[in-house]
Amino acid sequence: MKIQLNTYPLICVVALVLALISAQGFSAPQKRPVESSAEKAIKAEAEQKEQDQLLRREVMSFVKDNQGREPGEGWLYLASHYRELRQTDRSLMYLRTLLRSEHINPRIVWEAMLLNADILNEKKEYASATRELDRLIDTMPARNYLVRAKVARAEILGRNLTTMEELYKAFRRYYWPWPEKPDIEAIEYLMGFERGYDLEIAMRALEAWEEIAGFPEVEASNLANLHIAMLYAFDLNDPSRSLPFLSKIVKGAAVSEEAAFLKAVIAHLYSPGSDLKICLDNYSLFRRSTDSIDGYRVAGILQGLLLHEGLKDYESAINTLASLLESPLHLVASESISLERRREKRDEEIDWAMLASRMAGYIAEFRLANPDRARYFYQKAEELNKERSEPVEDPWTATALKRTEPGVSEAQMLFDMAYEKYRSNKMLEALKLYEEFINKYPEHVLFKEALFRTAVIVDDDLRKFDQALEMYQRYLIRFAPVKSSWDLDVLYDWGRMDEVRYRIGNLQYLHLKKPVAALDIFAQLASTYPDSYWAMQGLKDSVRIYEEDLGDPDKANALREEFIAKYPDSKDASGYRLSLYKVFLQKSEQVKALHMLRNYLDHSLPSDKNYFALKQEWRDLAFRIREESLRKILNTAGLRDRIEIYQNLMDVMCLASSSQPLEKLVDEVKSSELNDETRWSLVYDAATRMYQNFP
């Protein structure tokens, strides 16, 4: 049926709308049929909804952004999208509709013919695809479409010959079972010979590529030379014959990086005695320049192996392989609208990362003799496998993880046994094991900890205080704090020195009844380790000693102020603030009391007990202090100053918790010796403030 030009845009819009309505009916099939399991059914339904929403957003975005599109663009857009969803029959239907229509821009027709041939090629209908391209060539299209058609035809004719994509896949198949790889000679048969091809068809492909190699278009000519070079190098197993064709490819052209990769592969695997440094440079050049994520990964694997096996640079090999654990951002393409393709891409990325992890772990374990570093890579491979849509069996990595498990030394075992006895409250047995550890392993990293724990057991559990004091003092003499590598002067590797000092002071105070000696130790602790938790505990104990044992509350209060200054956000600081507030009130030091209460409120929350009552106390105290200072001035002030002081007093009275002080001030003003106009003006001001603050 012939479709006229003036009706074509309307038909395109209708087709897009129909595509939205029928999207669910023509959605991508599931990889596995939904079984009776309710969980699988829910998962499949959620995935289908997400797929429909993705397609709907894409189509509506196209309609919005291309309101002035030409006839046929909508069909072409839908065909490409359904091809992405692997619904090729639906895609071909739209293309047939487009190609049968009249008054279509030739450019769109040629684009549709190329897409049609590409889809037929994917469906393995090679004869139909070739006929479509021949038909396009016969129509004498524009030069760029003619070249594209010739290239597509040559690719179909050479479908069983080695291409860059097939080369990447072959290397992946070859190295996937690492380190149990086959003989290097087998790599030759992973290309064209493994799949087999018809020699007559191969010759037709060679003729087609040779024709394209003579085109004036540099990009097409370089691509043809690249395919001819691969045919000689891999399909005909004559790498030396491929080098002249690779040398014809202009540097900086579209496929120059692929040419560098092929030169590196030929030198690395097929040309013994080649300069490996040049080979390494070619791999690096390819990885920097390529826009193929698969090529980037394969070159990374080969570059790592070259560093490992050829140049014996194991550190660089591990670093190169580690770069494959994540894909470079500039090579990550936009996500497909097909959820199935997204899963496949993610699984493929994980597979490459697992392979790189296994290789890096192998080099670290067997070349660098570093099992801990190797275990990191093996664990990474295991974690990545769990992220696949369906984890694969990887017995080699499981064996490697068992092989690199960190061993437990006899010293560590003895220390752990002592700790378990301590946890079981078997103190004598624990003490005996710790002492055995101290005698056997004086150079062990846990030697210092074992000494400390023996002293703690003697002190806290056996309650032999004199012996514990002696052990603590020996500990202090034997070990000295080490300056930290941090650029902070107050941080040290204290090694429990601060806790030992506190325990010595605690023994002096509680058990030997020597509070003055304890105070000296706590003072040293505070000056030597000011940021230590035990310094804070020592300062609290000093407060208690001065107040309860030495009967010096003034010194205790001074230490409370010091504690508040050093540890303002601690819980004990709040209690000390409240205590000092009451002490200052008793001593009639109202200004100090006011500031201390304000400090307490600033470090408290409204949800704390008595918060609002204390806040009201602060208001009343502030009101009284200010009132007293103003009244001292009022007695000696002149008439003009008295008016200003009365106004200030009104403001101060408003701080009170009730209106009574303000009322008394009003009565005082009424009975004052001021003239009537002034008195009633002040009374009016006071009434205004009373209405505002005490309505």
Each residue's pLDDT tens digit, 398-430: 988 988 888 767 888 888 888 888 887 889 999
482 strand-pairing partners: 493
Answer yes or no: is pLDDT of 510 > 60: yes
For residue 179, say if its preceding peptide bond is cis, omega within 30 degrees of 0.
yes
- Interatomic CA distance for residues 540 and 535, integer angstroms: 9
Answer yes or no: is pLDDT of 488 > 70: no
Contact 272, 289 (CB under 8 A): no
User: 484 — alpha (psi -120 to 50), left (phi > 0) or beta?
Assistant: beta
Q: What is the mean pLDDT of the chain?
A: 80
Q: How much is the average pLDDT of 677-695?
A: 75
Contact 450, 479 (CB under 8 A): no
Contact 230, 222 (CB under 8 A): no
Q: Regarding predicted confidence, which is higher, 20 or 84?
A: 84
CA distances from 500 to 354, 470, 494, 541, 566 (A): 50, 11, 10, 15, 21
Give me 42's structure tokens.
């829910």
Residues across the chain: 695
Amino acid at 95: L
Query: 28: which residues sit within 8 A by CB, 6+ positions away?
Result: 51, 85, 86, 87, 338, 339, 340
CB atoms near residue 79 (< 10 Å): 25
- Interatomic CA distance for residues 682 and 678, integer angstroms: 6
Confidence of residue 298 (pLDDT cuts 50, 70, 90): very high
Tens digits of residue pLDDT in 538-592: 999 999 999 888 888 889 888 998 898 888 888 888 888 888 888 888 887 878 8
**Which residue from 171, 174, 178, 177 is spatially nearest to 363, judged by alpha carbons?**
178
Q: Regarding predicted confidence, which is higher, 127 or 680?
A: 127
- Interatomic CA distance for residues 460 and 422, integer angstroms: 12
Q: Regarding predicted confidence, which is higher, 30 or 249?
A: 249
CA angle 107, 108, 112 (to 5 degrees): 120
**Residue recorded with tokens 């505002």:** 692
Answer yes or no: is pLDDT of 5 > 60: no
Contact 500, 525 (CB under 8 A): no
Statement: the pTM of the whole predicted model exceeds 0.85? no
pLDDT in the model for residue 302: 93
Q: Regarding predicted confidence, which is higher, 356 or 157?
A: 356
Q: Which of 33-37, 383-387, 680-684 has the highest mean pLDDT?
A: 383-387
Contact 112, 92 (CB under 8 A): no
- Interatomic CA distance for residues 316 and 318, integer angstroms: 5
CA 655 to chain centre: 54
pLDDT in the model for residue 481: 59
Tens digits of residue pLDDT in 432-459: 999 999 999 888 888 888 999 999 999 9
Tens digits of residue pLDDT in 49-66: 777 777 677 766 666 666
Angle, helix 339-366 to helix 38-65, in steps of 10 degrees:
110
Q: Regarding predicted confidence, which is higher, 7 or 76?
A: 76
CA distances from 454 to 369, 432, 511 (A): 37, 9, 19
- Interatomic CA distance for residues 332 and 360, integer angstroms: 23
- Interatomic CA distance for residues 506 and 518, integer angstroms: 7
